Structure 1
């Protein structure tokens, strides 16, 4: 068996369905960053542990969680509140940890948007480290999100999990990505000033994860990024095959890229801006 951590902040819309999907495990731990909605009230209705910790960053929150909250099992799985565990994925996780060949395993997400699985526009499969030995992994910060640091080798699961990326409504998505774009802009400036393109990883990365990260660093230097991203996602990846939802998704991603570019300009040309105040 393995433990399941669920990370939350104002997740009253998603938390019940997320917990119910996770109760396949006998050890479910909700880690909340002081929600001010009904998240805790709803979570407490279920046979789970609820722990609150002030949010500093995605990487620090995960690392604190792994190091400070005792789990019943050596192996753990991380769920976001807008994701779901599935019976098939749970069974594969159980089978995998019986005779593990790696210390961690990536699982691919199925992005659910406007009632559809956005398969083509999202560069499926997109992998996240989800199942791992909790003593062999910690997390650092990268842009608006986190990046795992693993002491050992990693593998890949075949089963996937659904990710309801706009379950809280379009306004919440826009607000969240407006915040994310600030952190992404800070990281972009850092990468442009100090980073370099890892050409070997672009072409010969050992895994899809390595190649994707190298391509992201390359894309930071590409002119007309928002337009290029839309064309790449909609035409080259086949986003048009996702129908109306695919067009909307590709447009939102191009808009997000444009927000990042505007904030990069702000950081470099307006030293007194709020974005500059958050730089490191």
Structure 2
């Protein structure tokens, strides 16, 4: 049976990224772009690429939006990408060769190369940042319409079956500026606080408050920056790990704020 590939991407004001992403998947049989109200050139850019089908839906949350894009795919395989990601040339070739044969696994992890201020973060736990992104469509290992688990942020694919990892990199143009990082972490920490609140771990006692808001961020920085080698990534590595620990503090602070009395 011929192996066809669909690519699923969700967008909102991604004119700075989308062209690069779409250029890296031109070998795919179909590209689904699901937009949620872009006011920049995102839709114009999407429609300028061949084999791209553009849809618009109101924002439903990361997981629901991605699942909706996947359901619109018609290929035997689906590659789910964020709009700020691109396939390296080597990964493009690897996927093409894989689908020319009969893949032995039902899903594949992709090694993700994270960039911060346009520098590859090779250490500190940021590489290889493997993500499950390539999978057989309509596999029995997935419940229909629920490939990404429902949570406010950091959604993942729920999968049970034969899994393998590809050798080459998915490039994540995550945070080209400090401003973009701070904006994302402010938004993500708010969403992360919702998860913390749902779990009931909102730092009600003084000990829990200090532990979550001061100690955990401090330990996280020391562990990742010194013991996991983040110090080897230069000034960019220092800033990334410092700001990531701040994000952790923000997350628990916001969770505490939503439940405090008086």
Give the TM-score, by structure 1 length. Answer: 0.80
How far the C-alpha of 1:223 sits from its partner, in A, is 6.7
2:148 aligned to which of 139, 142, 159: 139
| 1:181 aligned onto 2:189 | yes
**Aligned mates of 2:96, 2:37 — CA distance in 1:** 32
1:190 correspondence with 2:198: yes
What is the 5 A alignment of 1:26-41? Answer: 26-41=29-44
CA contact (8 A) 1:226 1:255 kept: yes
CA distance in 1: counterparts of 2:217 and 2:79, whole angstroms:
34
- What residue ranges of structure 1 are gaps of 5+ in the alignment? 194-219, 272-280
Cα separation, 1, equivalents of 2:261 and 2:85: 38
Between Structure 1 and Structure 2, how many residues are aligned? 242
After TM superposition, give the deviation of residue 104 of structure 1 in Å: 0.9
Matches within 5 A, 1:235-250: 235-250=226-241
Q: Which runs of 5+ in 2 are unaligned?
A: 202-210
Answer whether contact 1:105 1:131 (CA < 8 A) is retained: yes
1:238-272, Cα deviation, whole Å (9 max, x unpaired): 1110001100110110111111121121123149x
Asked if structure 1 preserves the Cα contact closer than 8 Å seen for 2:109 and 2:166, the reply is yes
Mapping of residues 55-134 of structure 1, within 5 Å: 55-67=59-71, 69-71=72-74, 73-97=75-99, 98-134=101-137
**CA RMSD in angstroms, aligned pairs only:** 2.1
Aligned to 2:53: 49
Deviations 1:34-60 (CA, angstroms, capped at 9, x unpaired): 212111122222212111121111111
Paired with 1:102 and 1:191, the residues of 2 have a C-alpha distance of 34
Cα distance in 1 for partners of 2:32, 2:261 equals 43
Counterpart-to-counterpart distance in 1, 2:127 and 2:31: 28
Paired residue for 2:247? 256
Q: In 1, are the aligned partners of 2:8 and 2:66 still within 8 Å (CA)?
A: no
Q: Deviations over 1:102-149 (max 9, x none)?
A: 211111110111231101024422111111012134111234131212
CA distance in 1, matches of 2:126, 2:200: 24
SS in 1 for 2:231: helix
Residue 152 of structure 1: which of 161, 164, 188 is its match?
161
How much does 1:24 deviate? 2.3
Q: 1:183 & 1:115 partners in 2: Cα distance?
A: 26
* Residue deviations 1:208-248 (CA, integer Å, cap 9, x gap): xxxxxxxxxxxx97971111111111101111100011001
Query: Tell me, what secondary structure is at the counterpart of 1:100?
Result: coil
Deviation at 1:151, TM superposition (A): 4.7
Q: Say whether the 8 Å CA contact 1:103–1:151 is kept in structure 2.
A: no
Distance across 2 between alignment mates of 1:7 and 1:257 = 26
Counterpart contact for 1:144–1:181, Cα < 8 Å: no
TM-score where L is the length of structure 2: 0.85
